[in-house]
Structure 1
Amino acid sequence: MVATVQIPGSKSITNRAYVLAAIASTPSTIEGALRSRDTDLMMKALQALGVIFYEDSTTHGTDSITIRVEPSELHGGVVDCGLAGTVMRFVPPVAALVEGSVFFDGDLQARKRPMGQILEGLRAAGVKVKGNALPFEVDGDGRPEGGVVEIDASGSSQFVSGLLLSAPRYAKGITLKHSGGRLPSMPHIEMTVQMLRQAGITVDTSVENQWKVRPGEVRGRTWFVEPDLSNATPFLAAAAVTGGRVTIPNWPIQTTQPGDVIRDILARMGCTVELSARGATHDLIVEGPASGRLKGIIIDMSDIGELAPTVAALAALASTPSEITGIAHLRGHETDRLAALCAEITGIGGTCIELSDGLRIEPATLHGGQWHSYADHRMATAGAIIGLKVPGVEVENIQTTAKTLPGFETKWAAMLDGAC
């Protein structure tokens, strides 16, 4: 298998850009924005509060979408979060800027996702909130006080990012202190801080586990969205397990996206990884071991938990044991990913043990069977990876990948045909 796969824009960057554009003083343009269920939910949530969006295309999965965002006077409304963590954590602090009430709900599964800490953080910032999980209501007064807020964000880095993104519009800004255990997904917090600074906001990060965002004008600007590196990982994993070669164009040289770490992971597991200059951009080229035998890996994935399903799929096909740790927070994602990965790997003959904060996976002879997706896009792509090597593996509800990558199954088939 030899293929080149174009990956659409980053969900994480797109949704952060939407929020910053919504609270800016002047219009913004987002170049290369992702169209997916999660980003559409963010757009509709902000539209429900009065923000105006213009788009140049309505085709999902298109590699480059330009979105123009015009800030407007915010008003109350109803927000459907779906199953999108960024919507349920990033939009409530925006809702505090409304003079009126905003009601939040989402998919039934979303009601189980952790929300208490960010809602408590809003209360500490002077915002009235009814409820501690979906559904809940934010009663805004148009100018929340802000100030010092202390929360335990060990359950999700989105608690931090959500409060920081809207903090410049709070009267005192926000000084956010994390008081709990180890913070997961630090690169996503660094992404938030970087984008705030690019929008003209002063953020002080000189104290560990503390972020001080000063009040100020969020400037409208043009945002350029990188390809979603986490969405690229299943395609790179396909090269790893088949001994093929996959090229991802426009791989950024410097990025805050956690998905960039896949380069080191694949190299450690036995792949050849090359970042090659092509004009003004770079291609990432991954070639799997000719023998098709991957090495297991011992890795702490606390900063890169979103890659864990991909790495678990690779580990299930590796020739030596693997141990993935630092990912206890994945129990609060779209599904309990640790339990789900264990159930699905063992269900097709694998050996997977759930640890307190991760998984231990040992080599085993796998067989065909149904791989359940749990309405979780990362679970679905993990099953697709294993299905490349194990005949008879069928992924239930592959369409759930539309959450972050519409048309995944079409791209996957084109990759296998070498037609990408």
Structure 2
Amino acid sequence: MRFVFVHGTGVRQDRFDELFRQVSAGLLERFPGAEVEPCYWGREFGAELRAGGASVPGTNPLAPTDVDDDPGTAEWLLLLTDPFCELRVLAEIRTGAEDGGFGLPGVRSAGETVGGLLRGLPRDLDPGDELAVLLRETGLADGYRYALDTVSDSEEFQDACLAAEDDAVAAELALLTGRAVVAVLLARARDTTLCTGDERDRLVDLLSDRLGGTGRGVVTGTLGVLFKLGQRMTTQAARDRWRGDFTHEKASEIGDILRYQSRGEPLRAHLEKVIGRSPEPPVVIGHSLGGIALVDTLALAALRQPPLPVRLLVTVGSQAPFLHELGALAGLGPGAALPAGFPDWLNIYDRMDLLAYLAEPVFAGDRRVTDHEVRSRQPFPLSHSAYWRLAPVFDRIAQALR
């Protein structure tokens, strides 16, 4: 019996050698004497940064290096991660202050006044109100009521209100509350909002003014603490280095997919050649992008006739069914059924692998297509590579061939 193993995205020679060793061991244990042929395509058909990553901002040695960090960027990165972080720090600072006062019974503190103002803000704004206009223009209007209620009901805001016993701290509280509301809005909208830093700051101004604040120009103690933390975490140099390292690390993984989608014909021709020279119909096994390329290759060959002689197609952790749902497979038109000469197809997946998809529901009623679930008990992305250490993967292939 003959097997051909086709690797997935981002794999280069050293990694392929280890993968092929694992796959061969699993197959030969169940099929002694079988031939297992490696199909390594990463060097010839994979992607690489041909200019050494010169397109990544901050990594070009000829580019200007005098880039000033924007203080707001550092602060808002923290706020988008935790919209209540400033309110929490305010409450802790004021509660632990040596000169903290004691509230008088029956007297409403300055912080409680801010709380009342937030709860009293109209949830339905006049369409002509500047705040309403800006919320609409930035795509944040739908989340306004939710953001107000989320902040006003939060334990962090209530603690901060109790800690703000004088007018100066209440003014700071009003500013931080406005920032918290806007942070909730932005975090909820994520990349669906079209909001610049200037528009974000104007939203904060409008909200904090209505809460009795004095504007965001005042650098408060709370902002000072978090700004220093934010600067440490998000200096431009750190961001540039992170982006450069990330781009180089992920270039082959993402690049292989993009290159295949735009220029996949040479790889498909190579796979067709490898399969066609086999002395007997092989079992072809494709991991991840390798499975996509095999589905495309076999479908295109079957459409041309005669089909490639393949005993069984095995895809493992494959996105081929998902791409077919999107109409993005090169070998099958949108919604098309598998052609008559397409081989039996075993699709193995782990539901913890976010890059693995089901084939049976996509090709409903086609008895050639079978899904099989395995469980590595690993989270993603470890689950995407753990298949080759799972005995049930090879057991299921053996069962299909019996």
Answer yes or no: same fold by TM over 0.5: no
Please state which structure has a larger fraction of its residues in helix: 2
TM-score range relative to shorter protein: under 0.3
Please state which structure has a larger fraction of its residues in strand: 1
TM-score, structure 1 as length reference: 0.24
